[in-house]
């Protein structure tokens, strides 16, 4: 992170993930302690650990299918998606871990970003997502996404 983000705090949810958040952000477990919610400037990043739905074991291809399924089930019914991309996240380099990122354009000024992390060959994924105004994406959610360490996948639990 740049010096402007040097005062960000590291937060760890044991056996799930660790990541950095701004000092004035809040974080909590919600939904019966299974969803992590990080709030900053009235916008939320949500994360949760889930079993794979689209295949028995994780790979880059299966994570892309998972994100496409998430888009179809959770985003399209609520928003008109004008463009979408699904690509490996280039800032994730953990041995044996795959990460696919989707970026959806919603209207003229909103985006929906999601990342799916998994241990290659594992059966769980960590889904992290955010939607909001395009102009704040690089300052908060993208910095959190790029700092995320998928502990469940590195430690072999996923």
Question: pLDDT tens-digit profile of 60-82?
Answer: 999 999 999 999 999 999 999 99
State residue 87's pLDDT score. Answer: 97
Do 87 and 57 share a domain, yes or no? Answer: no
DSSP 29-59: EETTTTEEEEEETTEEEEEEEEE-SS-SS--
Q: Which of 74, 95, 111 is at the close of a domain?
A: 74
Q: Is residue 60 part of a domain?
A: yes
The model's pTM: 0.91
Q: Is residue 11 part of a domain?
A: yes
State residue 5's pLDDT score. Answer: 62
Give the range of the structural domain holding residue 119, as residue numbers without chain letter: 77-147
State residue 155's pLDDT score. Answer: 75
Do 12 and 63 share a domain, yes or no? Answer: yes
Average pLDDT over residues 125-129: 97
Nearest C-alpha neighbor of 158 from the set 36, 68, 57, 32: 57
158: pLDDT strictly greater than 70? no
Q: Is residue 132 part of a domain?
A: yes
33: pLDDT strictly greater than 90? no
Do 6 and 52 share a domain, yes or no? Answer: yes
Do 34 and 11 share a domain, yes or no? Answer: yes
Nearest C-alpha neighbor of 153 from the set 114, 127, 118, 115: 118
The count of domains in the chain is 2
Do 5 and 56 share a domain, yes or no? Answer: yes
User: 136 — phi, psi (to 5°)?
Assistant: -105, -5
Do 22 and 91 share a domain, yes or no? Answer: no
């Amino acid at each position: 992170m740049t010096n402007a983000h040097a005062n960000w705090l590291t937060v760890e949810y044991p056996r799930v993930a660790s990541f950095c958040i701004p000092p004035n952000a809040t974080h909590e477990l919600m939904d019966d302690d299974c969803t992590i919610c990080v709030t900053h400037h009235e916008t939320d990043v949500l994360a949760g650990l889930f079993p794979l739905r689209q295949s028995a074991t994780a790979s880059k291809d299966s994570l892309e299918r998972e994100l496409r399924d998430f888009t179809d089930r959770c985003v399209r019914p609520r928003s008109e998606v004008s463009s979408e991309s699904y690509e490996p996240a280039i800032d994730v380099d953990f041995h044996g871990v795959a990460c696919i990122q989707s970026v959806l354009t919603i209207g003229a000024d909103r985006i929906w970003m999601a990342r799916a992390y998994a241990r290659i060959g594992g059966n769980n994924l960590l889904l992290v997502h955010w939607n909001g105004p395009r102009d704040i994406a690089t300052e908060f959610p993208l910095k959190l996404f790029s700092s995320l360490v998928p502990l469940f996948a590195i430690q072999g639990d996923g």
